[in-house]
Structure formats: C-alpha cells, structure tokens
Amino acid sequence: MELVQTGQFREDLYYRLNGIELNLPPLRERADALALIQHILESEAEEPPALSAEAQHALLGYAWPGNIRQLRHVLQMAIALCDGPEIRCAHLPAEIVRGTGLVAATRMVNAAGGASPGAAQSAHLADDADTSALNAIQLKERETVLALLDEHRWNVRCVTGSGHMLEESIELARQLPGCDLFLSAAGEEVLPLYGWTVAKLREHFRVMRDNSASSVPVGMLYDRDYHTVVIAPATSNTVAKCAFGISDTLPTNLYAQAGKQCVPGIVFACDTEPSVITQSPHEWVEVRPRAIELDNVERLARFEYTTVARSLDELKAALDQRLANLNLAWITSSS
C-alpha cells in the first residue's frame, strides 16, 4: 500500500491483485500450540515420545522468539536426547525450562565477544547441572573442567551394530575427555545384548540416538562443537557406507559431514583380516571377511581426514596422537 501512496504502483492494479489477507500470529499467541507440538513430534519420530507435565508447561510458557523453526529445532534435540517414552525438562534447553530467553541471549553476546566454539555446549551443561551438593573444591574442579571443554570443544563417539571389541571400545571412550556417544539404530539393538542399555550408557556419556532427524546432532559439527569423530567398533556395513559416501544412519552421516568440515575421523574397522576372532553375546566365534569387505577397508583408509584402525592397539595409538595434537590427555579414572 505504501507503493500505491507514493505513486510507484497502480492503485487499480493493487485492488485487482489484492485477495484474502491472512494474519499469522506469532507462536507465543497461538491457541493451538500444544497441537502443533504434538504434530511436530509425530513428524520427527516414528514412535513420538510423550511430554511430561513439566516439559509441556515449559514449552507452552516460553516466548519462542524464533517461532516455529525454533520449536522444531528444540523438539528434534529433545527426541535425540530422550532415553525413554517421555520428554522431560532435562531434555530441553535451560532457557526454555526457565521460561526466559535471557540465557540464550547471554550466550550469543559471549560468542560475539570471542567465546570458544564449544562454549554454548558447556554453558548448557553448566546451566542444567545441580551443583547444590558440591563443596567449594568440587565446584572449582567443575569450573576447570568446563573451561577446558570450552577451549577444546568436544569429542563424538559413534557406536554401530558390532560387538567386536565393544567392551574395550567403550572403556576407551570413558577415558576420553568430553566424549558424547552417538548410536545407530543397529547399535542400540546390539548393545543391550552385551549388557549396555541406553540408561547404563547415560551414566557415563551424553547419548544421542538415531530416532530423529539427524540434522540436529549433525548440525553440531557445523557449529564446530566437535573436534573429532570416532566410529568404534565399525561394522563392515558401516565401513562400506563410509567408503562409498552413503550416509543414511546417524554415525555414517556424522562421518560424511565431518569430512566436509575437515574434522578428523577415526574408524575402528572390525573386518580387516581373512580370519577374525570376535566375541558374540555368548561365545567367541571366527568370521571370515570377504574380499570386498577387506577392499572397503583399504578404500576408506585412503580418504582425507580419516584414520583407519585395524586393531585395538591401532585405535589406542590413533587416539593418543589425536589427544596430543589437541594438547589433551586421557582421563585417568573412568569410575
């Protein structure tokens, strides 16, 4: 209408083209916000989790300055972090639980002022954690650890559906500083057979599950939240997908996107010899990898920013080298 008033647009043409005017209210003013939340959950997960009463209250009480796009992103992350049938406040960003955008605004100011790329990640952990039971020394230790994580960002560990050297691989992961665990759907099925449920893993790691749009965890790579991607152990299927650019699982997608961001990847391949002795859930067995599976390992080893480990010793050596490059050290106690 302003163009009509200034003579830059014909008035008769304006009224000829002008149809129904729709006014879309912002998300915070919508009366159907709960139905919209449920719709997004159903579109993002095959078996959408329910909302706890507290989480529902937090979502409905938030102002949503980013409108529906922000809501979808928050729900995608909540689905990825959810370890049961229900989304709780622990799965939501601290600023939403508090019902204010102050925390997010503060982080953006800090980032503009030169905070490290991993600062938002560690700030989220700092906001969510209950430190009331810590004494002064423990609080100081916690601040030091978070500062180191701010400086060096985080390490992501992917687990696929292989049981080969699984216990040893998890033990190494427990000794890595700032290690998050990303599970494939197959990995989540296999791990309980070896005594590792998602709940048990969450006692030691922050766990991402392959039950939502992978854009959320993969997006952390683009935000430079992670400095290394480790797939250990990697099935022959995962190795083949990585070697031929197929990224249809959470671990293979993370590996592919890490390569595009020049983020180093370490892949602990299972099938690397004509005869491999490995542990099934109940006994030790011998497997005989085919020539194509051995060829895929060699093909993957030629990729840029990729180190292929063919044994547990090689995996440990590759991690040693990566930690040295980052001026980091192993955690001496994983208890």
* Separation between Cα atoms, residue 305 and residue 317, nearest integer Å: 16
pLDDT surpasses 60 at 286: yes
Q: At what angle do helices 250-260 and 236-243 cross, to 10 degrees?
A: 30
- pLDDT of 216 reads 64
- Mean of the per-residue pLDDT values for the chain? 80
- pLDDT of 25 reads 85
**Residue 158 shares a structural domain with residue 208:** yes
pLDDT band for position 330 (50/70/90)?
Answer: very high
**Residue 119 shares a structural domain with residue 87:** no
Residue 57 lies in a domain: yes
**Residue 130 shares a structural domain with residue 226:** no
pLDDT tens digits, 185-234: 888 888 999 999 988 998 998 888 886 545 566 777 777 778 999 999 99
**Residue 319 shares a structural domain with residue 232:** yes
Residue 2 lies in a domain: no
Query: For the chain, how many structural domains are there in total?
Result: 3
Residue 331 lies in a domain: no
* Separation between Cα atoms, residue 88 and residue 2, nearest integer Å: 48
CATH number at residue 36: 1.10.8.60
How are beta strands 284-287 and 276-279 bridged, if at all?
antiparallel
More confident residue, 239 or 95: 239
Residues 6+ apart with CB under 8 A from 15: none
Give this prediction's pTM.
Answer: 0.62
pLDDT tens digits, 291-327: 999 999 999 999 999 999 999 999 999 999 999 998 8
**Cα angle for residues 327, 330, 335 (degrees, 5° grid):** 150
Structural domain containing residue 145? 115-149
Q: Is 299 helix (H, G, I), strand (E, B) or coil?
A: helix
**Residue 134 shares a structural domain with residue 237:** no
- pLDDT of 13 reads 86
**Residue 183 shares a structural domain with residue 221:** yes
Residue 107 lies in a domain: no
**Residue 138 shares a structural domain with residue 261:** no
* Separation between Cα atoms, residue 218 and residue 196, nearest integer Å: 24
**Residue 178 shares a structural domain with residue 311:** yes
- pLDDT of 285 reads 87
* Separation between Cα atoms, residue 187 and residue 19, nearest integer Å: 54
Residues 6+ apart with CB under 8 A from 125: 146
**Residue 122 shares a structural domain with residue 55:** no
**Residue 180 shares a structural domain with residue 313:** yes
Helices H / strands E in the chain, number of each: 17, 10
Residues 6+ apart with CB under 8 A from 136: none
Q: At what angle do helices 312-325 and 166-174 cross, to 10 degrees?
A: 20
**Residue 21 shares a structural domain with residue 75:** yes
* Separation between Cα atoms, residue 145 and residue 259, nearest integer Å: 28
Q: What burial class does residue 269 get, using C-beta atoms within 10 Å of its C-beta: 0-12 exposed, 13-18 middle, 19+ buried? A: buried
Highest mean pLDDT among 24-33, 185-194, 231-240: 231-240
Count of other CB atoms within 10 angstroms of residue 175: 16
pLDDT surpasses 60 at 111: no
Contact between 123 and 129 (Cβ < 8 Å):
no
